Amino acid sequence: MSRHNTTRPDRGEAPDLLARFRDVYPHGKGSVFMARAPGRVNLIGEHTDYNEGFVLPVAVDREVRVLGQRRPDDRVVIYSANFDRRASFELDALGLTTRQSWINYPQGVADALQRAGHHLAGANIVMWGNVPLGAGMSSSAAVEIACLLLFTTLAGLRLSPRDDALLARQAENNFVGVQTGIMDQFIARLGVAGHALLLDCRSLAYALIPLDLPGIALGVVHSGVPRGLAGSKYNERREECAEGVRLLQQVLPHIRALRDVQPAEFALVEERLPEVIRQRCRHIVTEDARVGEAAEALRAGDVARLGDLFARSQASMRDDYAITVSAIDTLVEVALAHGSVASRMTGGGFGGCTVNLVPEERWDAFTRGVMTEYPRVTGRTPTIYRCRAVDGASVEQIA
């Protein structure tokens, strides 16, 4: 994987956030801290995390930054530099809002921390990010992790990185209301530059695998399809998996989650399941096996094998899990026809992005091909991000 950082016009460079902070809060006093957390792209292992299985994500060089300073009261005021909007909440009166929904993520984090017994301080905050919103690159997990690091730092707390990830996930599950797994918050917090992270979502044990494929670029392409109904469809898939576990336990009493079912074993019992539940379970069981194979292929630098595994994952998400949409299927086909050697949808689905491995010498042809062919067939405009694997979240005092 090439390590150089290509600066592209679509990189969304950060404005001078400290200057913005001083403008927005001219009377604030005391130290200013900045927390940052990256977006992510998942190489393979889709919807396996909440089935206690395996995932292989990478933290990428698009990020959320939050600057904050303590206030003397219990109020949290947040200015979004992206939306040029200000919103606030009281730490002792948190409540989901539909009016400025972006503030639900910081509220959810404050809620999770307080429920865990931590005492937080009021704060003045400026938030900014260049992780594309609703694209399947986990902008929400980046917001959650960055806010969590800022809140804990301002309160003089220091939790373990694993606890940070678990609490940020609670914000999403219990406050925002999407029953996501642990993948996004975990990689946003614990990612390491130049590496993919193979995570066991049951034990939270992980291994770092160098993302070192010479001459290969990591390309993420946004389909331009917004993920409107993603939340409810996501929760529906989760329930279908739980139903699958309940039914399978009648013949496989030892299983606790789909993670415990091996593909060969599944093939012997799948006929007992109603068709839709069978398809959903088949995706999870086979996808888990593909994650293990992909980790091996990545360690061996075997790009052709990765391409094959991506193709099987894509077919499984399309035919069994039914989370791709036709524009995404087209985007994968177009990418493969124009130089990508491995392409699949990444993230929660129902729109969003594809992840691609593209030989350097074909990068220009790839971008040209995708930018012309995909809109011609679908009428949608793609956005291409060339990504590097970066470190997970951090926090520092900046003033």
Tell me the per-residue interface mask from 123 to 162 with ligand GLA, x by CB under 6 A, - otherwise: ---------------x------------------------
Compute the least distance from the CB of residue 5 to ligand GLA, in Å.
25
Q: 396 to each of 6, 35, 55, 252, 275, how far by Cα in Å? A: 26, 7, 29, 50, 52
Compute the least distance from the CB of residue 144 to ligand GLA, in Å.
10
Stretch that binds ligand GLA, among 17-25, 47-55, 79-87, 271-279 (CB under 6 A): 47-55
SS3 97: coil
Long-range contacts of 315-318 (CB under 8 A, 24+ apart): 316/282, 316/283, 316/286, 316/287, 317/46, 317/283, 317/344, 317/345, 317/349
Compute the least distance from the CB of residue 40 to ligand GLA, in Å.
8
Tell me, yes or no, if 184 is annotated catalytic: yes
Pairing of strands 54-55, 75-80: unpaired
- Smaller CB distance to ligand GLA: residue 32 or 387? 387
* Tally of CA atoms within 13 A in the half-sphere of 184 that contains its CB: 30
Q: 157 to each of 113, 393, 399, how far by Cα in Å? A: 10, 16, 19
CA 277 to CA 273: how far, in whole Å? Answer: 6
Q: Which of 104, 139, 180, 340 lies at the binding interface for ligand GLA (CB under 6 A)?
A: 180
- Smaller CB distance to ligand GLA: residue 129 or 339? 129
283 and 53 Cβ atoms separated by less than 8 Å: no
Q: Is 54 exposed, middle or buried (0-12, 13-18, 19+ CB in 10 A)?
A: buried
Residue 38 as a binder of ligand GLA (CB under 6 A): the answer is no
Compute the least distance from the CB of residue 142 to ligand GLA, in Å.
11
- Smaller CB distance to ligand GLA: residue 153 or 180? 180
Q: Which of 39, 106, 108, 181 lies at the binding interface for ligand GLA (CB under 6 A)?
A: 181
Residue 49 as a binder of ligand GLA (CB under 6 A): the answer is yes
Site for ligand GLA in 182-201 (CB under 6 A): 183-184
- Check the CA dihedral 306-341-196-227 and report its sign: negative
Number of residues that bind ligand GLA (CB under 6 A): 12
Stretch that binds ligand GLA, among 111-119, 177-185, 245-253, 304-312 (CB under 6 A): 177-185
Compute the least distance from the CB of residue 202 to ligand GLA, in Å.
14
Residue 58 as a binder of ligand GLA (CB under 6 A): the answer is no
Compute the least distance from the CB of residue 380 to ligand GLA, in Å.
21
C-alpha 84 chain-centroid distance: 24
Q: Which of 21, 25, 50, 321 lies at the binding interface for ligand GLA (CB under 6 A)?
A: 50
Q: What DSSP assignment string belongs to 150-184?
A: HHHHHTT----HHHHHHHHHHIIIIII-----SHH
Site for ligand GLA in 336-365 (CB under 6 A): 347-348
Pick the closest to residue 187 from 348, 39, 352 (CA basis).
Answer: 39
Cβ contacts of 182 within 8 Å, gap of 6 or more: 49, 165, 166, 169, 199, 201, 204
Catalytic residue, chosen from 184, 260, 320, 329, is: 184
Q: Which residues are catalytic?
A: 184
Residues that bind ligand GLA (CB under 6 A): 42, 46-47, 49-50, 138, 180-181, 183-184, 347-348
